[in-house]
Structure 1
């Protein structure tokens, strides 16, 4: 081997010292060699430091081994290979290289150490060249095999049978194993004495059987195998056409098997060409492998599918998708056994970053009834790997707990297992995941599972409560944590303990509507389990809290609304300011002559106004008119920027929704009617002055069938409020729109009859239109039906009901009301009061 070839010590090289010194070429060569050695040492030191800090660096391992192999440091090289193999599987080429290096250093007495290297190599990957090297090494260096002793021949045959089982179905290279097997048996035939006819005939039958098995398997060299078989039969004295490629002359069952194998190979020939081509990309080859696998699965031969998977992972050793497909197939077909366990062991070493492989590896060990020591070792090894998400670690911990629970609960459980192991695993998971998974659903599920097992397996209520309390210390802002804790106490019929938890958490602030939800949940709990006094006590606690939360949310909405309004106003001001600037700049852009003319005209106009005696009031009036004109221009600009007109809805197939939460949006209603379907438009009515929801909405549907289904959802809950859903009827409102009613009655009709006028207003409000702010109290007072005493109603506002106004006779008035009052009548009226 070149790497370890060294000049023998004391060998005469044909040069003396003077030649070495005086020859410039020799001197340059020696200096370059010394520079290479120094560079190698520096690189070795760098790689040693890199591997000490990062043992998972695959490329650093390969470079380090190659440098040590060139430098000839045997012990370090052996140690480097062992270190790499603890973290990664070695490629078949690396195993062959390692075995050859060790074989060149050791004599035949140390044959077993090299043989172990070959055995380790064939375990990790399916490689025909590696198998051939292994078989050749045994035949050449195993003394028993070389001497053709009974033990040696038996050992060689067993090894060949292992090779045939592992690789004989390899379509493109499997014939190499068969040929080596045949040649070995033929060499054994030559060692048998010619006088021992019985032993010789037995050996001939053994060779014939190997040929028959070989001819029944589809492979790339079927025809050449048939020719070799015929030639061998001719040597044994049988009359066959050895040069013909047909099956004429051989036994019928062999011919039938050969023809079937030929058909199978022809069906796979194009697939073999695709996966063995070297002029395609890796991704294309991978897709060809997957197509080939689909074909083999459709044929229904698990052995062929497994061989093809082994070929695939040899070509793509770090493809996690391929390993996952392979292990899933084995779980489905073989379910358990050493074969599946070995594949999972190799998969986790090839792709240690795939959490799913580790989880299924643990399940495979559990199905195979492996010892707790082996399962625990695999679990601890998985925790040392690096996964993409923390959920992968959580899945591993839960899988480990699941296995312990099942084995403890089963009748055939290991006596060494106990609840303390489950507690230790849960505690390890909590410590490991707590810094990164606080306030997550997964972390909550872990503790809920823990508490449930404390009750079920340990029958320890205090331990279960301790689990919940430890969770609340770190994740007290999760509403679900409190609710799950309360649910456990309720299921155990511990009503007072559940009530105590409600008292602890009802005043806490949770995300979203969680604070309101826990308050309503407490009231519901007291209605179902508490006394009247306890319900009253809960209402006294909860009511101020709900009012506080409602006020807080209104303030937040007001801030958001104010911020949006201020932003629009600022944008409008900036637009007007820019236009004014552009107008003033237009004057500045005039020529000096025009500027002078403009100035003189202004002076004359000012002088004329002074001579005409304009007072200050008239000047102010002019400025006010100018300001009004500017405001009209601004309003026109605002209208121009938003030229769209509100749509007018006919409400022909529309549902009217009332008692709607003020926080409800279009998306909430769409989700609410999702099971009904057919929604074409949603209009939430907004207050014209505040811009907030009025608790009313119109929902348009495609047809009456969907509308009827929507109305059927009447009295169902949405965001904590029971909705009132009815069909909108614009025709009913038109019957009342021609009658003269009071303003208060008209407003009630608009909201109660679901008329088209409200629908028009909803079209405007739904677009977010805003009006100047007016207090709600003033609006309410104007809407009330105020009764004035006496008949002096000539100054009454239009929206106040005058005295004597009746619904039946809206136009009736007395003559006294229309007759003007004289000064004496006014004086008498005031004197009476």
Structure 2
């Protein structure tokens, strides 16, 4: 309590406050401290909750980059050193850290360590400068070594040598940085100037040697196109004056320096002036990322035109520091290094960083393996890189295939060129092929990529493995999974044929000639067998093959004719349906035009129509004449429709009959055509895919029609019912358009006017019947140009009053003479029809 009472007194003495203020101050202080404590406790609780959430997120999804960054920030704020170290190490194993994160990490460790732990902090700096090019990180590293390394700080011979080596590394890595490279040179000259001050004045030789070293650094500095060259020149001249040298006496130019220095300086200044506007474009902060990226590309093209690899490389390093996850820059950078340097630790280091920054790009991994092989890396190093690449997620299966083939290529080359203890075992190639087949076969069935893999495998089994049975086993495994792939059988036959195994070739033909292949593959394999027997077999072999192949070719020819007939029927149905739709639209437009007329015009139209019907009944127009007029009208409509079809997009007017189609439902709304095509790739024969879209939103409804070439492929597709696609279990059934037509017709009332028009179905029938019930003229609906109704067709039910006259009424028989009632003699008018509909 005494200590608490003394503090306000001293505070009052220091600040000049009066006694009353010092008496009231403890209460105010106590209140404010309690408020701050409560707010701090709430912040701590929120921070702990966030830490727990992030820990759970990282335990379930370690590849969440943003979660790693946020977790490290919170741990750094809370001061949990051990957890912070562990979090940083975990993140660095998965991702390259940014220069700012490396600087924070090194600062934190430097604040906790002493001179004895200086080496551990320097290792952190070394790891940081190896990730990306950062001038601030280099400067921080150089300052730390000068201040905390005991040997450097004491200016011992070993310490000075260590510091100079570090400065030379910095100059090599970053001194060509046009906008910030001068920071490295300034630090270098300041260090050497400090060393000069430590030399004893009596040691003239050592002092002169150090002066010459500083002058050499200045000359190198002035020969590089960097920003602030003029200030550097002034600093150099001032330093020379301090050393007692009169430059004006030696100079023969306006710069006041020696001619060789002036020449180098003027050349550097010209180079900088040429690059000044390019530097300004890539360093501006008021431009978008895409614009800065394009400026970098232009700058790189400019540097490449000068042909200085060191300047191009430093600019690429600057670009990937600003765009660390841009695969385009990494690909261009590595291609340039492969072209200029080809091999070496520099290229290997760039590839290593590229695969860490963009691990999802398969091409980078492929070229990384080639770089390791080119650099004579050990098998363990190449194998580790290959295994690491397989853990990455690529966008296409072809990237995985290319990676496996690259691995096999490298093993093959080293097996053929190795000698002594370096000889590799062929089993490594076989294991790599087997691993590739197990991984790719389920996803690349019936593809050229899988065929290429097995063809290469079988070839190496023969040439390197010297095992014919193993090569045959490769083809048998492919045929087992891709039996409907013609090229697989042909390649198998080609291998046996090259080995002059006539009987084996014939046995393969006997196995595959009766199989169904896509396109004309079935006919091709039959003709290929006959050609083989003519060239290699006996007459009995040719007769046997002809006996087998001829019925198969006839069967295939009949099948082709049936397919052509179906295509012709579909085209005819399409034509008829288009004509019906056109006629229906015209009737609708005509009906609506009549309904939109004024009452007076409608009455006039009804009276004219009534007179027309009376005239038809009195004159006794027969049905043949009516049909003849309808046929002429149908031809006219057909001509109009064909003219309209020519003026429209054929893809939009295409009609599908669903004759050999699978209906897919319960599909994910994110599924695309490519997903369905890949799903049915093992079945094959997919000719078209139609995903149904919502007409308002344009998004998928989760339904699709998939057309197949024939019934065999369709049956195989339906067999995949209840299989998963994008997390949803699909429902796959055969699409039956005839059943839909029957159901649609059965849903139409027997006495509906649409039923007399022979061939409308579905929504069209319902819609037209609805229009009739609203007052459209049923008596004016013409006969359809579609199929005729059966002569023995009889309508059943009570609502037969509106039956057209060309349809037999209820109770009419062939033996009974047709009797007409008074209603038949006098056709009903439009108003009478409307009243009848209203009553019903």
Provide structure 1 residue ranges, at least 5 long, that are not aligned to the other structure: 1-9, 610-617, 647-771, 773-833
Deviation track 1:387-445 (CA, whole Å, cap 9, x = no partner) reads: 11111111110000000000001144763521111111111111111221111110111
1:622 is aligned to: 622
**Distance in 2 between residues matched to 1:196 and 1:342, nearest whole Å:** 44
Contact 1:355 1:392 in 2 (8 A): yes
1:386 is aligned to: 393
**Counterpart secondary structure, 2:227:** coil
Contact 2:167 2:188 in 1 (8 A): yes
2:632 is aligned to: 632
Deviation at 1:494, TM superposition (A): 0.4
Is 2:435 aligned against 1:428? yes
2:283 is aligned to: 276
1:443 is aligned to: 450
Deviation at 1:273, TM superposition (A): 1.2
Is 2:526 aligned against 1:519? yes
Deviation track 1:27-76 (CA, whole Å, cap 9, x = no partner) reads: 33222222211211121122112222222211111111001101111111
**Distance in 2 between residues matched to 1:386 and 1:54, nearest whole Å:** 15
**Distance in 1 between residues matched to 2:306 and 2:644, nearest whole Å:** 67
1:677-696 equivalence runs, <5 A = none
Contact 1:296 1:304 in 2 (8 A): yes
**Distance in 2 between residues matched to 1:457 and 1:481, nearest whole Å:** 22
**Counterpart secondary structure, 1:369:** coil
Deviation track 1:79-138 (CA, whole Å, cap 9, x = no partner) reads: 111111111111111111100000111111111100000011111111111111011000
**Distance in 2 between residues matched to 1:626 and 1:595, nearest whole Å:** 21
**Distance in 2 between residues matched to 1:254 and 1:602, nearest whole Å:** 114
Deviation at 1:598, TM superposition (A): 7.5
Is 2:540 aligned against 1:539? no
Contact 1:587 1:595 in 2 (8 A): no
Deviation track 1:754-792 (CA, whole Å, cap 9, x = no partner) reads: xxxxxxxxxxxxxxxxxx9xxxxxxxxxxxxxxxxxxxx
**Distance in 2 between residues matched to 1:26 and 1:319, nearest whole Å:** 50
1:660 is aligned to: none
Greater displacement, 263-272 / 359-368: 263-272
2:44 is aligned to: 37
Deviation track 1:151-204 (CA, whole Å, cap 9, x = no partner) reads: 111111111111111111111111111111111111111111111111111111
2:292 is aligned to: 285
**Distance in 1 between residues matched to 2:92 and 2:516, nearest whole Å:** 54
1:180-195 equivalence runs, <5 A = 180-195=187-202
Is 2:337 aligned against 1:330? yes
Contact 1:124 1:346 in 2 (8 A): yes
Of 460, 469, 473, which residue of structure 2 is paired with 1:466? Answer: 473
Is 2:277 aligned against 1:254? no
1:97-246 equivalence runs, <5 A = 97-240=104-247
**Distance in 2 between residues matched to 1:316 and 1:518, nearest whole Å:** 54
Give the direction of change, closer, same or farther, for the CA distance of 1:13–1:546 in structure 2 (3 Å limit).
farther
**Distance in 2 between residues matched to 1:446 and 1:226, nearest whole Å:** 64
Of 305, 317, 323, which residue of structure 2 is paired with 1:310? Answer: 317
Deviation track 1:517-563 (CA, whole Å, cap 9, x = no partner) reads: 11111111111111111111111111111111111121122122212
Deviation at 1:573, TM superposition (A): 4.4
Is 2:369 aligned against 1:359? no
1:785 is aligned to: none
Of 480, 484, 488, which residue of structure 2 is paired with 1:477? Answer: 484
**Distance in 2 between residues matched to 1:450 and 1:279, nearest whole Å:** 56
Provide structure 2 residue ranges, at least 5 long, that are not aligned to the other structure: 12-22, 647-786, 788-840
**Distance in 2 between residues matched to 1:585 and 1:644, nearest whole Å:** 22
1:373-772 equivalence runs, <5 A = 373-412=380-419, 415=422, 417-573=424-580, 575-576=582-583, 619=620, 622-642=622-642
**Distance in 2 between residues matched to 1:380 and 1:196, nearest whole Å:** 60
Contact 1:407 1:414 in 2 (8 A): no
Deviation at 1:256, TM superposition (A): 1.6
**Distance in 2 between residues matched to 1:580 and 1:134, nearest whole Å:** 87
**Distance in 2 between residues matched to 1:605 and 1:90, nearest whole Å:** 93
**Counterpart secondary structure, 1:436:** coil
1:661 is aligned to: none
**Distance in 2 between residues matched to 1:473 and 1:411, nearest whole Å:** 36
Give the direction of change, closer, same or farther, for the CA distance of 1:562–1:129 in structure 2 (3 Å limit).
same
**Distance in 2 between residues matched to 1:598 and 1:48, nearest whole Å:** 84
**Distance in 2 between residues matched to 1:512 and 1:249, nearest whole Å:** 85
Contact 2:247 2:258 in 1 (8 A): no
**Distance in 1 between residues matched to 2:550 and 2:7, nearest whole Å:** 105
Contact 1:223 1:245 in 2 (8 A): no
**Distance in 2 between residues matched to 1:329 and 1:406, nearest whole Å:** 25
Give the direction of change, closer, same or farther, for the CA distance of 1:164–1:500 in structure 2 (3 Å limit).
same
Count of equivalent residues: 625
**Distance in 1 between residues matched to 2:252 and 2:330, nearest whole Å:** 41
Contact 1:226 1:245 in 2 (8 A): no
**Counterpart secondary structure, 1:365:** helix
1:685 is aligned to: none
Contact 1:139 1:156 in 2 (8 A): yes
Contact 1:20 1:27 in 2 (8 A): no
Contact 1:320 1:354 in 2 (8 A): yes
**Distance in 2 between residues matched to 1:137 and 1:571, nearest whole Å:** 84
Give the direction of change, closer, same or farther, for the CA distance of 1:302–1:644 in structure 2 (3 Å limit).
closer
Contact 2:72 2:87 in 1 (8 A): yes
Contact 1:230 1:241 in 2 (8 A): no
**Counterpart secondary structure, 2:376:** coil
Greater displacement, 588-597 / 314-323: 588-597
**Distance in 2 between residues matched to 1:307 and 1:563, nearest whole Å:** 66
- RMSD value over aligned CA atoms? 3.1
1:96 is aligned to: 103
Give the direction of change, closer, same or farther, for the CA distance of 1:413–1:85 in structure 2 (3 Å limit).
farther
Give the direction of change, closer, same or farther, for the CA distance of 1:94–1:559 in structure 2 (3 Å limit).
same
**Counterpart secondary structure, 1:437:** coil
**Counterpart secondary structure, 2:304:** helix
Contact 1:320 1:351 in 2 (8 A): yes
Is 2:87 aligned against 1:80? yes
**Distance in 1 between residues matched to 2:158 and 2:519, nearest whole Å:** 79
Contact 2:252 2:259 in 1 (8 A): no
**Distance in 1 between residues matched to 2:448 and 2:77, nearest whole Å:** 55
**Distance in 1 between residues matched to 2:207 and 2:80, nearest whole Å:** 51
Deviation track 1:580-604 (CA, whole Å, cap 9, x = no partner) reads: 7888999998767986898699779
TM-score normalised per structure 2: 0.70
**Distance in 1 between residues matched to 2:287 and 2:253, nearest whole Å:** 36
**Distance in 1 between residues matched to 2:514 and 2:560, nearest whole Å:** 16
